[in-house]
Amino acid sequence: MLNIVLLCQYGASTGMLVDKIMEAAKAKNIEVIVNAYPVGEVAKVIDGADIILLGPQVRFKLNSLKKDYESKNVPMITIEPTDYGRLNGENILNSILSHLEAIK
């Protein structure tokens, strides 16, 4: 099971996106857990995560989060603003899978 943690400004606006990513995973027969949290809670949720996604509103924090949590070895990527805005769960899931495949 793939544990996806989605970080945004307040953890509220990504609820629909969580559903879309889960729908895309189900269509591909991939078992996932997707949860959204405010970026300020990263320390509480990073353990056990397979990948961290940052919403467009917090993408500027990517480098500092990578540096601060480097020892956790959890990959972090940003969500493309167009995919976020269009709630394109399939594209976002494909980005996740491509990234994870590339770092194997």
Options 6, 7, 8, 17, the catalytic residue: 8
8 is catalytic: yes
CA distance 50 to 57: 21
Which 8-state DSSP code applies to residue 79? Answer: P
Side-chain-side CA neighbours of residue 18 (13 Å)? 17
Residues belonging to the chain: 104
CA distance 12 to 6: 11
Give me the active site residues, please: 8
